[in-house]
Amino acid sequence: MKLDLLKKQWLDIVFEGRNKSYGAYDLRMKDGNTNMKAFIIGAVIFSVAVATPKIAEFISSATADDSATMDTKIRTVKLPPKEEKPKENLPPPPPPPPKVDQVKFVKPVVAKTEEVTEEPPKMEEIKDKNLGKEDIKGDPNAVLTVEPPGNGPAQQEVVEDNTIYSSAGIEVKPDFPGGIAKFYSFIQKNYVAPDEPGLKGQVFVSFVVEKDGSLTDIKILRDIGYGTGKEAERVLRKCPRWTPAEQNGKKVRCSYQIPIKIETPEE
């Protein structure tokens, strides 16, 4: 008995007496169909891979032809001329403006003194002319009037600016000679702290820097007791003159506020 390997008879011989439900027998029985499907799928994939460049080239050439055709059509289209209807009931055009005689401007030329040939008129030429032969006399009986002396132009009253400006919005702020650091140095040298150990705080003082630099309207806004406010007022009254504030180029009154720090040693 000859055995044909191309047929499935050899599988029955090999798996005789064995469990044919085992996966190896089933796989070998379907091996031919599986190989055929794999071959067909591989052939289709290979054909698509080979044909893809050709298909892309064909699509691009077709698109280019359509674009060229479209451009040609757009370029060759000519719109018909628009017909304008004649307008009716239009008013007649205004008449042209009258002609005005114009004289050409000639640039004047200044002649030299020696080139002027015109001479003054002679007596024979003006003896028959009316040159004012009659004298016109005034009225001898006219009343003479003399205006009373005046007071001259009225002088405008100068109003002095006594407004108290705030240091926050003034153009030139008031300043102590040498700067604010010198001012606090003056306070430190002249202020006598109260004999109260462990005293700490600040005394707030407001005052007005006058046009001459003096300090007026000194007020204690807040103190910490023990006569600290009165002592601050005493020191400010003996303070040197400040440089006054300025507004619009003029010296003006200006309000100012400062804190004075108080600290006494503890026992």
Q: Rounded distance, CA 170 to CA 244, Å? A: 11
- Mean pLDDT (the chain) is 77
Extents of the domains making up the chain: 8-51, 165-263
The confidence score (pLDDT) of residue 96 equals 79
Q: Let me know if domain 165-263 sits in CATH 3.30.1150.
A: yes
The confidence score (pLDDT) of residue 97 equals 77
Q: Are 224 and 199 in contact (CB under 8 A)?
A: yes
**What percentage of the chain exceeds 90 in pLDDT?**
30
First to last CA, the chain: 133
- Token digits of residue 77: 């289209």
Left if phi > 0, otherwise alpha if psi is -120 to 50, otherwise beta: which for 221?
Answer: alpha
Angle at alpha carbon of residue 212, lines to 211 and 218, rounded to 5°: 80
Q: Are 264 and 194 in contact (CB under 8 A)?
A: yes
Residues 10-68 have pLDDT tens digits of 566 666 656 655 566 666 666 667 778 888 998 889 888 888 888 888 787 766 665 55
| Below-70 pLDDT ranges, the chain | 1-32, 62-79, 86-88, 99-138, 143-144, 146-147, 150, 152-156
Quick one: which of 216, 215, 267, 213 has its CA closest to 244?
A: 213
The confidence score (pLDDT) of residue 255 equals 94
- Amino acid identity of residue 96, one-letter, is P
